[in-house]
Homo-oligomer: A and B are copies of this chain.
Amino acid sequence: MLKDVEITRAIVESYMKELLDSLTVDVAIVGAGPSGMVAGYYLAKGGAKVAIFEKKLSIGGGIWGGGMGFNKIVVQEEAREILNEFGIDYKPFREGLYVADAVEVATTIASRTVKAGVRIFNMVEVEDLVVKDGRVCGAVINWTPVKMTGLHIDPVTIEAQYVIDSTGHEAQITQYLLKRGLIEKIPGEGAMWAEMGERRH
């Protein structure tokens, strides 16, 4: 057999085994930005079976560009412990502010999260939630390229005890609940909250 065909077999078999094993998880996290990955890391360390579904090819969400494309990240005192836990380097700037490299932050968190046992399915988009008896119990997923091209292809379903919406400002997953009338507003949303919550560093 061609070596390339063996390689293909290795890829397809190992991916499919992992996908089939992930059809039922404890926690499904939507979005592999820093907060989604950090959540997955701590949950996996606590013993949960966790899968992250990320619609882009790469993880990291909006962190790569730092501010305005200047790829540095500033962390406040309260979050310094997380940098320490993940082993990310940082330098003090002024009192209570620490500067880290955006590329190092994104990749170190992801590296450590996967090593902690979290499976990250990149290029997979969550299209909808599965709701039963008024409780979220799964998610409906599809390949992102399918969504990008507008091809008419049905999604498949995974089961999860909990689904965490880590899609950022858009709260895209929570919107599905709103649209179906299962919640009336996104918790914490409002003019004040926008003030406090929208800027993240």
Chain B, Cβ-Cβ closest to A102: B122
A20 touches B11 (CB 8 A): no
The interface residues of chain B lying within 8 Å CB-to-CB of A68 are 11-12, 141-143, 146, 153-156
Are B157 and A7 within 8 A (Cβ)? yes
Would you list the 9 A-B pairs with minimal beta carbon distance, nearest first?
Answer: A65-B153, A145-B145, A58-B58, A15-B70, A4-B157, A107-B110, A107-B107, A8-B156, A10-B93
Closest to A15 in B: B70
Q: Is the CB of B104 within 8 A of A115?
A: yes
Tell me which residues across on chain B come within 8 A of A13, comparing CB atoms: 20, 93
Convert A94-122 into 0s and 1s, putting 1 for each residue whose CB lies closer than 8 angstroms to a CB of B: 10010101111011101100110000111
Decide if A41 is an interface residue (CB 8 Å cutoff). no
Contact A58 B106 (CB under 8 A): yes
Residues of B within 8 A of A111 (CB): 104, 107-108, 110-111
Q: Find out whether the CB atom of B67 lies under 8 angstroms from the CB atom of A58.
A: no
B74:A10 contact, CB within 8 angstroms: yes
Separation of A197 and B191 alpha carbons in the complex (Å): 30
Residue of B nearest to A158 (CB): B5
Q: Contacts of A191 on B, CB cut-off 8 Å?
A: 180-182
The answer to whether A66 and B154 have CB atoms under 8 Å apart is yes
Q: Is A130 an interface position by the 8 A CB rule?
A: yes
Contact assessment for A97 and B156 in the assembled complex, using a CB-CB cutoff below 8 Å? no
Is A97 within 8 A of B194, CB to CB? no
Whether, in the assembled complex, A123 has its beta carbon less than 8 Å from a beta carbon of chain B, the answer is: yes
- Residues in chain B near residue A153, CB distance under 8 A: 57, 62, 64-66, 68-69, 123
Asked if residues B145 and A11 are in contact (CB atoms below 8 Å), the reply is no
Given A2-B159, A123-B65: A201 touches B15 (CB 8 Å cut-off): no
CB<8 Å pairs between A and B, sample of 14: A5-B138, A8-B67, A12-B156, A15-B70, A16-B70, A66-B154, A69-B145, A70-B156, A89-B115, A107-B110, A110-B111, A132-B195, A148-B149, A180-B195
